[in-house]
DNA sequence: GTAGATCCGATCAGATTCGTTCTATTCCGA
DNA sequence: TCGGAATAGAACGAATCTGATCGGATCTAC
């Protein structure tokens, strides 16, 4: 990441690289926290290209202002959504596959796009990767996706209305579906609980299924994000048929036969290497 | 001799060394900042062909006028590195009062109610107090309010749709207002940035104001939550007139004359003791 | 519960930057 | 022509920032 240097050297030929102001670095740290929820000291130091000592000083200063919470080994934002479980938990989730999938999927998004993003832990990771884009319009029914993008002023985030389903922090119901009715975007990035070559995406909940269908219906192309643990799994309600798939982003652990089958049906595959 | 390369021949050929006026140089500095966002002192000195001392003087003058922000090693435009997203800091202002107000306001809610809750740090606290209620239906445009209630299975949380305003984590815009159009609930619990006896509730943002009005319009009774730091303050856009107030919940630090005036206009007062 | 590894805080040193003071130059009016 | 005022550059001590190191605290694994 690091998104490159903010200040381009459009002029001043031969001038040495401008030193990064402390305030600049601190803002960048906050941005990183806002995007990633919890970041280790080492990662921060690497991202801002400073020593860990310096970052530690910054964190201390930011903590004094009440802008962040420090933890052993890193920092988090204070009292943001359910990123509570923080650090230890996040690290142990072994979200390596999801992170890789999210990275790859983010490369399918271009500046200026209008996209739809569904709920799910993978799509949430994906949303965090979008922070570096500009002029993006993102429609979602997931509070966590919205939250991940709330700090990015260059991204317009639109939430569907609807009834909150607390367990997944997403909006469902007729209001949610209705609010998507008149919408048309380029791509939908959705996930689910199960994915088979025969029945496509599926979820155990009918309300969630209804919104998932509406999300896909609002997009020209459907991009499915699914790690290998979901592939071959079938749950109660089918949400999106394979015929509607345009892209599948998964990881190298996915069973080859299912991928072949999907590929044979015209789905473009993107396999992330962890 | 100050070297041959001084103020010299960058322009005005034949006119014989016109000095670069200070105002001109400063204008140039601002332009450079505007283009590059953040520029080091050295670069500035090089760009305007003056010594660093001179540029330093200019920067000091420009800072005094509020046109730039100085940093160690350079300068930026005021907006560039602003640490505005002070939501965390806002929550710390009068935190004890807000908690007491939230407690008191929660006693105005009965099991089985349908209510509307607006955005704000106070209403967020208020929402947390609602978790103990049952059979409640809560409509809100605040992600933080929704989040506070996400874990309560006996409360139905409905979010309006709309565009996410990241700084306050609330949904605004025409979609938000439209989704409230057909709604009717018993009470609306709203807050704002300022409250006077003459102009009622106000907020600095027009979009927020629009939704606030729609929230109040969906309820039979309006309950205003405002700690003493907001009373007597008037900001740009009026959202809800005093005539629409039914209850005001505030703390003991509120100025008596304003309270009297409001009471005289038929507003029922609830003063929380911290 | 102990041992090992990691992380944190404090102190020190090097480098850069800042503010102040002093000096030189130019412009303008008498 | 002379002198005052304003501006720009130079020099030096003070303050700030950054990175390195080391002892102590904390966390994790066994």
Query: Domains of chain B by range and CATH?
Result: 17-76 (1.10.10.10), 87-272 (3.40.50.1360)
Mutate to test the interface with A, among B37, B39, B143, B183 (most CBs of A within 10 A): B143
Residue B3: what pLDDT?
A: 33
Name the closest residue on chain B to residue A169, using Cα atoms: B150
3-state secondary structure of A37: coil
Contacts of A46 (CB under 8 A, 6+ apart): none
Q: What is the overall mean pLDDT for chain A?
A: 85
Instruction: Output the pLDDT for position A95.
Output: 63
Q: Return the closest-CA partner of residue B158 out of A124, A37, A179.
A: A179
Calculate the dihedral angle through the C-alpha atoms of B35, B41, B45, B47, rounding to the nearest 10 degrees.
-20
Mutation site, B159, B183, B211, B218, interface A, largest A CB count within 10 A: B159
Minimal C-alpha gap between A264 and chain B (Å): 39
pLDDT, position B2: 33
Q: Do residues B101 and B65 touch, judged by C-beta distance below 8 A?
A: no
Calculate Rg over the CA atoms of chain A. 20
Rounded Cα distance between B27 and A118, Å, is 48
Given a cut of 80, whether residue A226 has pLDDT beyond it is yes
- Please state, as a whole number, how many other Cβ atoms lie within 10 Å of the Cβ of residue B235: 19
8 Å CB contact of B47 and A12? yes
Nearest CA to B29 out of B54, B59, B7 is that of B59
A264 pLDDT exceeds 70? yes
**Chain A residue with minimum CA distance to B92:** A66
Percent helix, strand, coil in chain A, to 5, is 40, 25, 40
Predicted pLDDT at A210: 97
% residues pLDDT > 90 (chain A):
57
User: Is B37 in contact with A6 (Cβ distance < 8 A)?
Assistant: yes
Give the residue from A30, A66, A78, A143 with the most B CB atoms within 10 Å of its CB, the best one to mutate.
A143
In chain B, residues with a C-beta closer than 8 Å to the C-beta of A147 are 143, 169
Give me the percent of chain A exceeding a pLDDT of 70.
87
pLDDT at A98: 83
Q: Which class for A263: exposed (0-12), middle (13-18), buried (19 or more C-beta within 10 A)?
A: middle
Collect all residues with Cβ–Cβ distance below 8 Å to B187 and sequence separation of at least 6. Answer: B108, B109, B113, B115, B116, B219, B220, B221, B222, B223, B246
pLDDT over 70 at A83, yes or no:
no
Q: In whole angstroms, what is the distance from residue B9 CA to residue B2 CA?
A: 14
**Closest residue of chain B to A154, computed from CA coordinates:** B166
Element holding B140 (H helix, E strand): strand B136-140
Contacts of B181 (CB under 8 A, 6+ apart): B214
CA count, 13 A, side-chain hemisphere, A249: 27
D25 nearest neighbour residue (CA to C1'): A72
Checking if the pLDDT of A78 tops 90, the result is no
Higher pLDDT, A35 or B44: B44
Strands B219-225 and B185-190: parallel
Q: What angle do CA A16, A9, A136 make, to 5 degrees?
A: 140
Residues in a beta bridge with B157: B138
For residue A201, name the pLDDT band (cuts at 50, 70, 90). Answer: very high
- Nearest-Cα distance to chain B for A203, in Å, is 20
Give the pLDDT of residue A256: 94
pLDDT of the residue at A79: 61
Q: Residues of A with CB below 8 A from B160's CB?
A: 161
Number of A/B CB contacts below 8 angstroms equals 135
Regions of chain B where pLDDT drops below 50: 1-18, 84-85
The torsion angle over the Cα atoms of residues B116, B119, B122 and B125, rounded to 10 degrees, is 70
- Between CA B73 and C1' C15 the distance (Å) reads 13
pLDDT for the residue numbered B158: 97
Contact criterion met (CB < 8 Å) for B163 and A143: no
CB spacing of B76 vs A160 below 8 angstroms: no
Distances (CA, A) of B24 to B28, B58, B137: 6, 11, 62
Tell me: the pLDDT tens digits for A15-30?
Answer: 456 677 888 899 889 8
CA distances from A174 to A61, A144, A208, A236 (A): 47, 20, 11, 20
- Looking at the predicted structure, is the pLDDT value of residue A165 above 50? yes
What is the model's pLDDT at position B264?
Answer: 96
Cα angle: B207, vertex B181, B166; to 5 degrees: 30
Cα distance between residue B136 and residue A121, in whole Å: 28
CA–C1' gap, B40 and D23, in angstroms: 38
Containing H/E element for B251? strand B245-251
User: Which protein residue lies nearest to nucleotide D27, measured between its Cα and the C1' atom?
Assistant: A72
pLDDT at A152: 80
In a 3-state reduction of DSSP, which class is residue A172? strand
- CA B71, C1' D11: Å apart? 23
Q: CA of B270, closest CA in chain A: separation in Å? A: 29
Q: CA–C1' span, A64 to D30, in Å?
A: 38
Which positions on strand C lie below 7 Å from a protein C-beta? 6-11, 16-21, 25-27
Question: What is the pLDDT, as a whole number, of residue B155?
Answer: 94
- Chain B CB contacts of A78 under 8 Å are 88
- pLDDT for A246 beyond 90: yes
Residue B152: closest CA among chain A residues belongs to which residue?
A166
Helix (H/G/I), strand (E/B), else coil: B136: strand
Residue range B242-261, pLDDT digits in tens: 999 999 999 999 999 999 99
More confident residue, B118 or A13: B118
Name the residue facing B92 among A21, A66, A82 (closest C-beta): A66
Provide the 8-state DSSP code for A3. T
Q: Which residues contact B151 (CB under 8 A, 6 or more apart)?
A: A166, B131
Other Cβ atoms within 10 Å of B54 Cβ, number: 16
B11 CA → D4 C1’, Å: 29
Chain A residues within 8 A of B149 when measuring between CB atoms: 164, 166
Length of chain A, please? Answer: 274
Nucleotide nearest to A73 (CA to C1'): C7
Do A161 and B162 lie within an 8 Å CB cutoff? yes
β partners of residue A138: A115, A157
């Amino acid at each position: 990441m690091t998104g490159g240097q903010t200040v381009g050297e459009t002029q001043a030929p031969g001038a040495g690289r401008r030193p990064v102001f402390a305030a600049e670095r601190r803002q960048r740290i906050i941005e990183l926290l806002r995007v990633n929820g919890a970041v280790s000291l080492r990662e921060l130091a690497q991202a801002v290209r400073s020593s860990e000592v310096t970052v530690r000083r910054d964190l201390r200063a930011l903590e004094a202002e009440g802008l962040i919470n420090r933890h052993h080994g890193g920092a988090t934002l204070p009292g943001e959504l359910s990123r509570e479980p923080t650090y230890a938990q996040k690290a142990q989730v072994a979200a390596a596959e999801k992170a890789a999938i999210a990275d790859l999927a983010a490369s399918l998004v271009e500046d200026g796009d209008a996209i739809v993003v569904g709920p799910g832990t993978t799509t949430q990771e994906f949303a965090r990767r979008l922070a570096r884009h500009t002029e993006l319009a993102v429609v979602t029914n997931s509070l966590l996706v919205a939250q991940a993008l709330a700090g990015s002023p260059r991204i317009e985030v639109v939430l569907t209305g609807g009834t909150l389903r607390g367990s997944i922090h997403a909006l469902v119901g007729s209001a949610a579906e209705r609010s998507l009715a008149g919408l048309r975007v380029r791509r939908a990035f959705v996930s689910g609980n199960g994915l088979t070559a025969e029945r496509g995406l599926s979820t155990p909940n009918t309300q969630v299924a209804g919104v998932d269908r509406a999300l896909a219906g609002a997009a020209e192309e459907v991009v499915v994000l699914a790690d290998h643990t979901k592939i071959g799994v079938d749950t109660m309600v089918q949400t999106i048929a394979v015929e509607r798939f345009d892209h599948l982003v998964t990881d190298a652990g996915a069973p080859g036969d299912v991928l072949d089958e999907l590929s044979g049906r015209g789905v473009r595959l993107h396999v992330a290497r962890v």
